[in-house]
Amino acid sequence: MDQFWTHCVEALKKEIPAQQVKLWIEPLTVVNYDEDTGSLAMAAPNRFKLDWVLNNYGGRFTELASEYFGCDIDIQWQVAARTAPNNPAGSHRDSGGPPSNPTPAKTAAVDTLRRDEVASSVYERSRLNRDLCFSNFVSGRANQLARAAAEQVAANPGVSYNPLFLYGGVGLGKTHLIHSIGNRLLESNPHAQIRYIHAEQYVSDVVKAYQKKAFEEFKRSYYSLDLLLIDDIQFFAGKSRTQEEFFYAFEQLIAAKKQIIITSDTYPKDIQGMDDRLISRFNSGLTVAIEPPELEMRVAILLKKAEQQKILFSEDVAFFVAKHMRSNIRELEGALRRIMAFASFHNKPVTMDLVREALRDMISVHHGQVSVESIQKTVADYYKIKVADMFSKRRQANIVLPRQVAMYLAKELTEKSYMEIGELFGGRDHTTVLHAVNKITELRNQSAELNHALHVLDQTLKG
């Protein structure tokens, strides 16, 4: 048996990098070989490693064993018994005798090690980031609905809102929130089968399964989940095979009351190149937006992050930064990192002057850069109308609304007067602009869709 194991390791060393052999192959054990039945029992230290070895080298081990023993070998794979010593393959495989009696202290240490190993294997398998949790997710008006829905789903997966569809612009906390759901569920049920996957990765997994003709395996690995978190689903656009595969997984999981959570940068029906069947499925649970954070929330986030990193940050400074960094939370984090680096480089405390200096480029980029022309172009693109219609006299509703939106944004984001804006919109009167601004202000309070569109446009324009 020793020789058989050496044969396997030596063969695999020629086929895969040494580091992988060390990580995945060496921890395996040969439990037993039954000559009469041609059956070989092999074990991996945990389920995660077992799945990996089976998926990647199950067939190869069968070949190696058949080659070595000169007959067809059927390998029975299993997870090593938790009480068995965690020896590498070959060192205890034929012992058959009782395990040596470890001292209680040793057993406790081994148990802790194993618990950690199990815990980290659970995290590895789920691809969850433990650092993204509810406790460090700052709430405010912009995300409170999304957070409430997320907490509800974490407490009752598969029951309350299924799927939960979260949408919002870049860097607003969608990824953070869905990891929080996964982490919360793992705390209450460490055995839950959870997978976080970015849509781009899913697309590439579909391609790989297609190339390897391993669709059954691919399907199985998704159909057995309790919680599937799929991020940035807009990346499925135009990928019909991926969409088809996802459609089946979706139907299967929902029918089995397993929870699905999806994020996207936009409302389901606005995702371009997505199958209508999927869009209607996305809307069949709960769809919630995460909006860009308002000033007070940006301040709260800065203070929280500064506190986590043990930096002394006054409220005045936080207000100053938050006033200038308006588009998203990733940008706020970037500003904070820059301030920290600047303070540490110059060995100075974080004062208002230091912050002004540290963020000089970032602040100037955000000031006075938006022109009325770029607003007209961006809004026209967003609503898929011609830029020329911004100046035209056409009165169709599908043109009037975008034009009024553009006027509203021109007033919000530039220093121009009503009269100047009217001039730039085909020589219109200032009262027309005033009317547009009032109308959009009123409408945005009534329509979540318009409010979202304005946030997206605002973010796009500020880059």
Ligand X SMILES: Nc1ncnc2c1ncn2[C@@H]1O[C@H](COP(=O)(O)OP(=O)(O)OP(=O)(O)O)[C@@H](O)[C@H]1O
Q: Binding site for ATP: what residues are annotated?
A: 171, 173-175
Site membership for ligand X, residue 40 (CB under 6 A): no
The one segment of 18-26, 165-173, 341-349, 361-369 that binds ligand X by CB under 6 A:
165-173
Q: How far is the CB of 353 from ligand X (least distance, A)?
A: 27
Query: Helix, strand or coil for residue 287?
Result: strand
Q: In whole angstroms, give the CA distance from residue 361 to residue 88.
A: 56
Which of 31, 206, 232, 372 is the binder for ligand X (CB under 6 A)?
Answer: 232
Site membership for ligand X, residue 301 (CB under 6 A): yes
Concatenating the DSSP letter of every residue in 309-328 gives: TT----HHHHHHHHHH--S-
Cβ contacts of 407 within 8 Å, gap of 6 or more: 421, 425, 432, 433, 436, 437, 440
Q: How far is CA 236 from CA 63, 206, 241, in A?
A: 38, 11, 9
Query: Helix, strand or coil for residue 428?
Result: coil
Q: How far is the CB of 173 from ligand X (least distance, A)?
A: 3
- Cβ proximity to ligand X, 179 vs 403, nearer residue: 179
Site membership for ligand X, residue 298 (CB under 6 A): no
Q: Binding marks (x or -) toward ligand X, 234..273, rule CB under 6 A?
A: -------------------------------x--------
Q: How far is the CB of 265 from ligand X (least distance, A)?
A: 6
Which of 30, 31, 65, 172 is the binder for ligand X (CB under 6 A)?
Answer: 172
Site membership for ligand X, residue 455 (CB under 6 A): no
Site membership for ligand X, residue 173 (CB under 6 A): yes
Closest CA to 264 of 228, 238, 288: 288
Which of 90, 157, 163, 171 is the binder for ligand X (CB under 6 A)?
Answer: 171
Closest CA to 426 of 407, 445, 413: 407
Site membership for ligand X, residue 452 (CB under 6 A): no
- Cβ proximity to ligand X, 20 vs 129, nearer residue: 129
Q: How far is the CB of 451 from ligand X (least distance, A)?
A: 17
Taking the CA atoms of residue 237, residue 238, residue 241 and residue 243 in that order, the dihedral angle to the nearest 10 degrees is 30
* Spacing of C-alpha 229 from chain mean position: 7
Q: How far is CA 107 from CA 45, 79, 112, 188, 367, in A?
A: 16, 19, 9, 26, 63
21: which DSSP letter? I
Find the binding residues for ligand X in span 315-334 (CB under 6 A): 329-330, 333
By CB under 6 A, name the binding residues for ligand X. 132, 136-138, 143, 168, 170-176, 232, 265, 301, 329-330, 333
